[in-house]
Amino acid sequence: MRNVLVTGGAGFIGSNFVRYILQVEPQVHVVNLDALTYAGSLENLRALPDPERHTFVQGDIRDRPLVERLLVEHEIDAIVHFAAESHVDRSILGPQAFIETNVMGTFTLLEAARTVWGNRRDVRFHHISTDEVYGSLAPDDPPFSETTPYAPNSPYAASKAASDHLVRAYGHTYGLPVTITNCSNNYGPYQFPEKLIPLMLLNALEGKPLPVYGDGQQVRDWLYVEDHCEAIWLVLRRGAPGETYNIGGDNQPANLAIVRQLCALLDERFPDSPHTPHADLITHVRDRPGHDRRYAMDIRKIRTELGWRPRHTLSEGLRKTVDWYLANQDWVEAIRQREDYRAWMERNYAARE
């Protein structure tokens, strides 16, 4: 693979993947297509390694002529599809954008790839999905595997389930060489600060309340974003066409435990802070409607078939994440000064108090 089209490459996971590829694959050119909606930012693409191998294009994945032109002009031989609306709370308040981007956007990309690539087999369409398509687990249920039936519970999860089915169908019906990865909750550098870990970290630094939904006992599997990027590139190079691989961090803490661990790290970094102990800032707020109780990922397939496992423990990943946000306050301020960010935080959290 020499010319890779990354959709959503100015977002959190996408921008980390762009950095990863430019670092580890000196022969690869990356074409980065992003609409620069609220979660995508050129701030995420500053100081890229070897930037002459990166071409940024602002555009919408639903713009089929644009996508086809990029595939032809840049001789694209792999599409890595990150672009998606991805926040459950936003999908509850406004589901239409999720259908348009996640379903229609994926459909448009598939049609463009089918048209331009024809019957080629030396290409790959890789689709990034989520563990949320599988629904929610009871406390004693086994983890999600690649054969777990889909049971999405939010508009976001339903839109990703639909896009997964489309990708799989194009592989089966048209012979398009596709792979899918379903990942667990990502965290790490450049994550938009509406998500749990950066939100709690940044609020705690300023002595603001830490709004934990419900009793905070919702269980998630947490995956350090760099480990996710490594797994995706491995699937692209060695994964079998038509296959799905689950990617997870191999852990199952409750949300409240994550918040307390972040607070302990800040207590360690800033023992003289007026906000220490930071755990005193934890405030339980009204829960999200239909909040899934537990996710857990069975990663035996990717570990056995491709030899991948997460390099970072949760403790190591959280420490690196805290260090990154502390060292990049200019990035934080650039994001938090955006009007769309401030309006969303007010809309989502004010009503929960």
DSSP letter for each residue of 197-254 = HHHHHHHHHTT--EEEETTS--B--EEEHHHHHHHHHHHHHHSPTT-EEEE--S---B
60 flagged as catalytic: no
Catalytic residue (one of 85, 132, 164, 292):
132
Mark residue 86 as left, alpha or beta (left: phi above 0; alpha: psi -120 to 50; beta: remaining): alpha
36-40, 188-192, 210-214, 240-244: the lowest-pLDDT one = 36-40
Confidence grade of residue 188 (pLDDT, cut at 50, 70, 90): very high
pLDDT in the model for residue 179: 98
Residue 350 is predicted with a pLDDT of 65
Q: Strands 282-285, 210-213: parallel, antiparallel or unpaired by DSSP?
A: parallel
Quickly name the fold that domain 192-219+253-287+313-343 has.
Answer: UDP-galactose 4-epimerase; domain 1 (3.90.25)
Q: Rounded mean pLDDT of 271-290?
A: 95
Nearest Cα to Cα of residue 278 among 203, 201, 204, 193: 204
Contact (CB, 8 A) for 299 and 250: yes
Q: What is the predicted pLDDT for the residue at 90?
A: 87
Quote the pLDDT of residue 342: 73
Neighbouring residues of 133: CB distance < 8 A, sequence distance ≥ 6: 150, 152, 157, 160, 161, 164, 182
User: What are φ and ψ of residue 105, in 5° steps?
Assistant: -65, -45
Reply yes or no on whether the pLDDT at 352 is more than 70: no
Contact by Cβ (8 Å): 320, 302: no
Identify whether the C-beta of residue 73 lies closer than 8 Å to the C-beta of residue 3. no
How far is residue 261's CA from residue 114's CA, in Å, rounded to a whole number? 47
The CATH class of the 3-184+222-249+294-312 domain is alpha beta
The whole-number pLDDT of residue 275 equals 96
Whether 1 has a pLDDT exceeding 90, the answer reads: no
pLDDT at 353: 59
pLDDT band at 194 (very low <50, low <70, confident <90, very high): confident
User: Strands 29-34 and 282-285, how do they pair?
Assistant: unpaired
Please say if the pLDDT value at position 349 is more than 90. Answer: no
Domains of the chain by residue range:
3-184+222-249+294-312, 192-219+253-287+313-343
CA nearest 108: which of 151, 61, 148? 61
Instruction: Indicate which residue of 156, 170, 213, 245 is catalytic.
Output: 156
Q: Residue 289: is the preceding peptide bond cis (ω within 30°)?
A: no
pLDDT in tens, 12-27: 999 999 999 999 999 9
b or e along 162-182 (b: 16 or more beta carbons within 10 Å of the residue's beta carbon)? bbbebbeebbeeeebbbbbbb
Range 335-347 average pLDDT: 73
Catalytic residue among 131, 164, 194, 227: 131
Contacts of 205 (CB under 8 A, 6+ apart): 266, 275
Banded pLDDT at 347 (limits 50, 70, 90): low
Please say if 131 is a catalytic residue. yes
Q: In the prediction, which pLDDT does 337 show?
A: 81
From the CB of residue 24, how many other CB atoms can be counted at a distance below 10 Å? 12
- List helix spans (H) across the chain: 12-24, 64-73, 88-93, 96-98, 106-117, 155-174, 196-205, 225-238, 255-269, 300-306, 314-327, 329-336, 339-349
Supply the pLDDT for residue 344: 66
CA distance 103 to 234: 26
**CA 325 distance to own-chain centroid:** 18
- State the number of CA atoms in the 13 A half-sphere of 299 facing the CB: 25
Is the pLDDT confidence value at 212 over 90? yes
pTM for the whole structure = 0.95
Give the confidence band of 98 by pLDDT, cuts at 50, 70, 90.
Answer: very high
What value does the mean pLDDT of the chain take?
95
pLDDT tens, residue by residue, 106-143: 999 999 999 999 999 999 999 999 999 999 999 999 99
Is 132 tagged catalytic? Answer: yes
- Range 245-273 average pLDDT: 97
Residue 351 pLDDT > 70: no
